[in-house]
Amino acid sequence: MQPLGFILLLAFGGLIFLLALVFAVMWGLSHPPRRTYASAVAKNLPGAPDELEPSIPFEQWSLESAGLSLPVWDMRGRDPDGPTIVFSHGWGDSRLGALPRAQRLADFASRLIAWDLPAHGKAKGTCRLGLHESIHLSALLDALEGPLVLYGWSLGAGLAIQAGTHPQVVAVIAEAPFRFQHTPARNVLRQAHLPSGLTLSIALFLLGMRPGRRRAFDRAGLASRLSCPLLIIHGSHDEICPIEDSRAIAQAAANATLVEIAGGNHNGLWIEPDWAEQCTRAVAKFLQSSLASAH
């Protein structure tokens, strides 16, 4: 084989390999691992609100939005005069992630809503990494009565900030938010020892993360449009979403409070008892002042 032909063959093989990696990353990001009742049982964790201690009565219904049927838990809070708290989970999570939060925050709400984002839990569809999920959250808010408090973590935190301009929303709580999609995606891939450089950049571009959309997606920019109070909770040792993103978001918002949980990581703020107690106190104090100002 001639040298030029050999070089072209290597180049072609390298291109095929790169495209295969890009496709694998695209598929993984848009089809995250499912967290369902079975996965909760396997870890000996509550799989529904009535399995908590104390249990929370609930109803289950589906949100019909943009051709998708998204499962919803409609939980009864323990404060009849409290607001409705709407939980939006992160990438790779589901309604199950709301359970430890609802267990502690039911004392401050009359109603708690948790839903499965597309491609998560029992919901069909694909994950768009925050590009289009806001249309489903808006549809959910339209189906509820106010006053509403939005609580989101990670991917869901950005959705909560984006939907915070809804007329029935009186406060937003963002746990471990990020400004741009590439940051958590890169860190998740690195933890899995997968390519996170050029491969990720191409995959995100093909998934719709065009350079021109960067400014429109920026959660700091969206936070600057909020007229309601914003509470940000973030662990100082978050390995997925750096706390610097929360600091920038808090600085951009007109009325924001940032609570840093010393030593806290990305997924354990409501699992480790001391961190969970700090989060509970922060939310209780925030809700008390926010609802007072709303009235």
CATH code, domain carrying 145: 3.40.50.1820
DSSP state string for 183-220:
HHHHHHHHHTT---SHHHHHHHHHTT--GGGHHHH-HH
Cis before residue 273, ω within 30 degrees of 0?
no
Taking CA atoms, 44 is separated from 41, 48, 139, 182, 269, in Å, by 5, 12, 33, 33, 19
Give the mean pLDDT of 153-162: 98
* Total tally of structural domains belonging to the chain: 1
Residue 119 lies in a domain: yes
Say what the pLDDT of residue 9 is: 65
Going by C-alpha positions, the residue among 282, 292, 295, 217 that lies closest to residue 256 is 282
Residue 162 lies in a domain: yes
Residue 11 lies in a domain: no
Going by C-alpha positions, the residue among 92, 270, 243, 252 that lies closest to residue 178 is 243
* Residue 109 or 191, more confident: 109
pTM given for the model: 0.93
User: How much is the mean pLDDT over the chain?
Assistant: 93
Domain that holds residue 273: 19-294
Residue 85 lies in a domain: yes
- Banded pLDDT at 6 (limits 50, 70, 90): low
Say what the pLDDT of residue 2 is: 64
Residue 4 lies in a domain: no
pLDDT for residue 221 is more than 70: yes
Cα–Cα distance for residue pair 233/214, rounded to 1 Å:
24
